């Protein structure tokens, strides 16, 4: 098969034509390899990546003993289409070699061996529509191959508090994690009920809070107008502009979840798309089968 992963031939030289590649990745506590690939001009004399501090040339697998080798798993990389039974060599926190002995390449040696026969070794899955990690459910995600849990359904706390809580040794989850600014929760902190429209002063307060939380590490702005029917277009637009300024998406549990007037799926999607058009923010419709596409998926798409 044709692929672009840096693999080792019998001589130890990377079996790559025209371009050289560096694999740079990490091993999570879930035991999954995360692979990133950077192409280099064929005239380069080594495999050094200018974007990765301290990255060096690939070791010769006939002479090198890796810190860890994940052995004989089905190694899959969706980006390149690589899909073979192979060994993955890791030094420190970096993947430094992949070799497929069944294709005549060198078997990798390691100080520690993880037997992955019958298992898939792949970049970890990212759950983008989740909530804050909890000590029970997060382990089911790990079992499913999830290595990043993103609460883009909105986190019911300020960003500083969220990262302080889950950054502590007592609460730190076994995955990467992140969250979104929650418009419904923040409205409630200003004393707004679900049916209440916000004043200009309250919109200014929402914008300031959102801006600070994105600066503190939140990665999206969450809206749920079906659950907060009082939220008006001007409030959503003001916060979507903050999302655009921070280059993060605006995520929507849209305003309507059926195709019966008043309030149809088409109207729900029209509001989201108008926000995207006017603010140039990226938008993501959460579970379109539930809002914006219920019973009308083909037409909505």
pLDDT tens profile 7-45: 444 334 433 222 222 222 333 333 343 333 332 233 332
**How does 111-130 read in b/e, with b if 16+ C-beta sit within 10 Å?**
eeebebeeeebbbbbebbeb
- Quote the crossing angle between the two packed helices 200-215 and 233-245, to the nearest 10°: 30
Q: State how far the Cα of 65 lies from the Cα of 114, in Å rounded to an integer.
A: 14
154 and 289 both lie in a single domain: yes
Q: Is 49 left (phi over 0), alpha (psi -120 to 50) or beta?
A: beta
Domain termination site, one of 90, 121, 152: 121
**124 contacts 146 by C-beta, under 8 angstroms:** yes
Question: pTM for the whole thing?
Answer: 0.73
Residue with tokens 């889950």: 166
Q: Is the dihedral of CA 49, 51, 56, 59 positive or negative?
A: negative
Q: What angle do CA 88, 92, 96 make, to 5 degrees?
A: 40
pLDDT at position 79 is: 81
Domain termination site, one of 87, 121, 155: 121
| Residue 270 CB coordination number (10 Å) | 14
211 and 268 both lie in a single domain: yes
CATH number at residue 110: 2.30.40
In a domain, 207, yes or no: yes
- Domain span at 66: 20-121
In DSSP terms, 97 is beta-bridged to: 89
pLDDT at position 22 is: 24
DSSP 3-state of 59: coil
CATH number at residue 216: 3.20.20.140
179 and 271 both lie in a single domain: yes
55 and 164 both lie in a single domain: no
Count H helices, E strands: the chain?
Answer: 7, 13
- The number of distinct structural domains making up the chain is 2
pLDDT at position 19 is: 22
pLDDT at position 57 is: 64
pLDDT means per 10 residues, the chain with 301 residues, are: 42 31 30 33 27 53 91 89 91 88 84 94 90 89 91 96 93 94 98 98 98 98 97 98 98 93 91 98 91 87 86
pLDDT at position 215 is: 98
pLDDT at position 301 is: 86
136 and 112 both lie in a single domain: no
239 and 156 both lie in a single domain: yes
117 and 129 both lie in a single domain: no
144 and 281 both lie in a single domain: yes
Q: State how far the Cα of 77 lies from the Cα of 123, in Å rounded to an integer.
A: 7
Domain termination site, one of 121, 141, 158: 121
| H or E segment and range at residue 75 | strand 65-77
Q: State how far the Cα of 275 lies from the Cα of 277, in Å rounded to an integer.
A: 5
């Amino acid at each position: 098969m044709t692929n672009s992963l840096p693999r080792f031939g019998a001589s130890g030289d990377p079996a790559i034509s025209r371009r050289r590649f560096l694999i740079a990745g990490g091993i999570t506590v879930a035991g999954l390899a995360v692979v990133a690939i950077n192409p280099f001009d064929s005239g380069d004399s080594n495999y050094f990546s200018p974007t990765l501090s301290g990255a060096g040339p690939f070791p010769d697998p006939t002479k090198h003993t890796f810190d860890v080798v994940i052995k004989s798993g089905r190694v899959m990389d969706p980006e390149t289409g690589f899909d073979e039974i192979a060994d993955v060599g890791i030094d420190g926190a970096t993947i430094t070699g992949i070799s497929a002995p069944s294709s005549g390449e060198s078997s990798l040696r390691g100080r520690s061996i993880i037997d992955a026969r019958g298992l898939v070794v792949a970049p970890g899955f990212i759950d983008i529509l989740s909530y804050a990690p909890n000590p029970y459910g997060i382990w089911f995600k790990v079992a499913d191959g999830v290595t990043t849990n993103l609460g883009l359904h909105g986190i019911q706390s300020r960003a500083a508090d969220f990262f302080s809580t889950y950054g502590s040794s007592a609460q730190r989850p076994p995955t990467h994690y992140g969250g979104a600014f929650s418009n419904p929760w923040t409205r409630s902190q200003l004393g707004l009920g679900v049916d209440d429209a916000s004043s200009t002063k309250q919109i200014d307060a929402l914008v300031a809070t959102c801006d600070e939380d994105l600066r503190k590490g939140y990665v999206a702005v969450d809206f749920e107008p079906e659950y907060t029917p009082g939220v008006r277009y001007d409030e959503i637009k003001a916060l979507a502009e903050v999302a655009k300024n921070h280059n993060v998406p605006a995520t929507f549990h849209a305003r309507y979840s059926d195709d019966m007037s008043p309030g149809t799926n088409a109207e729900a999607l029209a509001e989201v798309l108008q926000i995207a058009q006017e603010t140039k923010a990226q938008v993501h419709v959460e579970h379109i089968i539930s809002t914006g596409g219920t019973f009308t998926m083909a037409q909505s798409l």
